Structure 1
Amino acid sequence: MGVITKITVQQKRVDRYNIEIDGEYAFSTDEAVLIEFNLKKGQTITEAEITDIQVRDGVQRGINTAINFLSVRMRSEKEIRDYLKKKEIEPDSWDEIMKRLASMGYLNDEQFADAYIKTQIQTTEKGPAVILRELKEKGIEDHIAASLIEQFTEEERIEKAAALFEKQLKKYKRDSAFLQQKKAEQHVLTKGYSAVVMKKAATKAEPDAEAEMGALMHQAEKAHRRYRAFENREYRQKMKASLYRKGFDLSDIDRAIDRLLEEE
């Protein structure tokens, strides 16, 4: 037991106070805890009360840490717990911290999931499967995520997948239409769209015969430089095999080879 002889504001933390007991520094505490326990100079305080104050201060420190983390954007309960662990907040205080955050309106996994899905739809190319996986990683229960992902309508999924598909076709414009298609399809699937949505998106892409011939000639010229030293029959065999493996049509390959030979 002792008497509080001095209470001073910390120089670098104006929300924290140093407490001296019987003329010596004893502990520091948050302003909210100071007010809650009505601490003042001249007050008699026991060891048990000091312990209670320090426990409560640990909770308040965790609340302040979490609110600072939440100031950037909404967070799931799991994200908050992971952050408290990272900041070395005493695990015994986590439940109380979460309870108080929820009572202040800072925590609601359903609202978080709803906002997260809307943001991903509006700002990213992600499909439903990827969004659901990320929500699971953030600790959102499956039934909540499954219910809320329905706001991502099939029409929106097809529209976004089609845009992604077209973007990939342009990226691989030097490849055959066959390879462009396969690479674009694979990319759409890895972004989290279903095979059904991907197929519907792919049908929106218009075949470009001129671009296909341009890609074929680009690849044919590269192959021609490799095989031009071979005699005619072997040259044609190697050219056809090389270009066919890249997905080009055999009749188009013949025309490309003839064109190259005419230019020799």
Structure 2
Amino acid sequence: MKMLLQQRDGFDLRIYFPQGKLTKYVQGIWVANYDSSNILLRHLKANASNSIVYCLSGSVLLGGEERSAGVYLCPTASQAQKIAFYPNTQVVGICFQPGGMAQLSPLAQPNEITPAQSTESEKHDTWDALLRLSCYSQNPQALLTLLYRKLLPLCELAQGFDPVLIKALSRCKQPLLLQNIVRELPIGQRQLARLFKQSLGITAKQYQRITRVNNTIDYLKKAPKCSLTQLAYDFGYSDQAHMTREFKYFTHHTPSYYCQEMA
């Protein structure tokens, strides 16, 4: 299990990247501890994914509202989101792969941040147990261990992604027109729209835009001194201004911000 560690001004963030069976459905599990006396503000970039947030102590700003201790189901991150940590806050989160939460959860895609509730069904007791884990441990690292134990059987029970969706997701990562992608699939554009809405909670076009921005960021991290004008052209934006608008919408930051971050 790989881990990314960030520590600054009383904020301790550890992101764990799963290995094996979990990687198909889960991007990562993060653990945040904040013990400063000030409010810490961050912006999360869109990643076309759902998440579950366990607020163990303190409170966190999600969806424009302060959320106290509890478990929250979050809708697909389709644009930059503001998150704020209040003093003495401990939070654990699961970030699913695009469409991953829909494969594991018996619930419909949430349209807004929703306090987690039991489905009260024996058929879905493994999912319910996942949402109740914070009742058994208020220690972030202990909760992390419990999450892994509950996520593994969920992944083993999952039927798996629709093969059409897998192909569509792969093709949408490339700079192709949507109508050209549909020609390669055994379903029409309306059926594809329903499939994306049910599985990801967003449209195929939104997924394309998010993926393009994130691919551009990955390139910037490798080549922070590149020409932004040429970069916009290479990644299919109409011009640099168009690329900047997309970056601000999906990440809150400009391309130059990522250049400076890697310098």
TM-score relative to the length of structure 1: 0.25
Query: Relative contact order: is structure 1 or structure 2 higher (C-alpha 8 Å, sep ≥ 6)?
Result: 2
User: If each structure's helix is expressed as a fraction of its own residues, which one has the higher value?
Assistant: 1
- Larger Rg over CA atoms: 1
TM-score relative to the length of structure 2: 0.25
User: If each structure's strand is expressed as a fraction of its own residues, which one has the higher value?
Assistant: 2
